Amino acid sequence: MAKKEKIITFGEIMLRLSTPDHQTINQTHSYIANYGGGEANVAVALSHMGHKTYFMSKLPPNQLGDGAISHLMANGVNTDYIVRGSTTLGIYFLETGFGGRPSKVIYNRKHSAITRIDLSEFDFDDVFDGATWFHISGISLALNERVAKFAVEACKYCHEHGVKVSFDFNYRAKLWSIEQARPWYKLIMPYVDVVFASFYDCNTILEIPLDKGLEDASMHDRRMNVFPKMIEKYNLSYVFGTDRVVYSSTDNSLAGYYYTKNTSKITNPIRFMIYDRIGGGDAFASGVIHGLIKNFDDPDYAVSYGLNTSVLKHTIYGDACLLSCEDIEQFMASNCSAEVQR
């Protein structure tokens, strides 16, 4: 890549504690520790694709905070925009599923350092100087009102200064209710360019209505009905997402899609075995962002790149995709995941 793009992501990075050998949380006596979090995973993946990435957050000034920073720096992510304060790092426990038993996640993040973040701790003129892209997700909106306000102000700044903003809905029912989430999602949407969302996100969270008579239509037809309304209402460029079929905890298939006001495309599905599912959506977002940065007018390439990146991430232990563009492009060429127009 001739020019390295400055990409900023904002969110919470947590300590991940995973049960070994597919054990349940009830039976395990030890955990495997590493670090991850949606927006941090995107920064890590894009760094491995050759971009200049920065992670903006708040971490405690202790060894756990140091460990998270070391993880980011080891993967080429700049940590200049991480402030230190408070005492707690968010933790999540992962019980890795097997066969017909799904994986489970338990969060312990309610009073983590990022929930004490304050706008006065950052100079957006400095943070976004030279930046071309800002990525955020709905998980950050869910942490508390302080973080949600920070996220909205950051997106508003980017919107006013010509920095493209991508937003992954990433709604998590374990963190908050639809009624709690709805006003914040509606508040942030006017400042967004590219969205990663499902029909459920659009219809239920944003309350974009489905026309009468389409309740039993195919998912594609329902998306074709509501996505253009969302795109027009919020002046979006693209909506991206994936369709997953679960055959077992270790055997899935994925297809990627994108929609604009007038067009749509859905890829053929790729079926694959899973080593670690966590971060598959973040990998998809990373691949799409990379594809759009290469050519914003070619969403076909972006959705294919995102899909292949996500499939490959499922073969890598940990939260983030650690593969180079060469690795991803070789995989794309070998599986020939041609897209089909619907």
Whether residue 318 lies inside any domain: the answer is yes
Please state the three-class secondary structure of 65-77 as a single string.
HHHHHHHHHHCCC
Whether residue 63 lies inside any domain: the answer is yes
Number of folded domains that form the chain: 1
Whether residue 38 lies inside any domain: the answer is yes
Higher-confidence residue of 258 and 102: namely 258
pTM: 0.94
**In angstroms, what is the C-alpha Rg of the chain?**
19
Whether residue 131 lies inside any domain: the answer is no
Can you tell me the distance from the alpha carbon of 41 to that of 47, in angstroms, rounded to the nearest whole number? 10
Q: What is the domain-level CATH number for residue 212?
A: 3.40.1190.20
Tell me which residue range forms the domain holding 148.
6-125+137-340
Whether residue 238 lies inside any domain: the answer is yes
What confidence score (pLDDT) does residue 337 get?
46
Task: With beta carbons less than 8 A apart as the criterion, state whether 75 and 28 touch.
Answer: no
User: Does residue 51 surpass a pLDDT of 80?
Assistant: yes
Whether residue 130 lies inside any domain: the answer is no
User: Does residue 96 surpass a pLDDT of 70?
Assistant: yes
What confidence score (pLDDT) does residue 4 get?
64
Partners of 52 in beta bridges? 6
What confidence score (pLDDT) does residue 103 get?
87
Tens-place pLDDT, residues 108-164: 888 999 999 999 999 999 999 999 999 999 999 999 999 999 999 999 999 999 999
Which helix (H) or strand (E) element contains residue 46? Answer: helix 38-48
Whether residue 132 lies inside any domain: the answer is no
What confidence score (pLDDT) does residue 3 get?
53
Whether residue 231 lies inside any domain: the answer is yes
What confidence score (pLDDT) does residue 1 get?
43
* Surface-to-core class of residue 232, CB atoms within 10 Å of its CB (0-12 exposed, 13-18 middle, 19+ buried): exposed
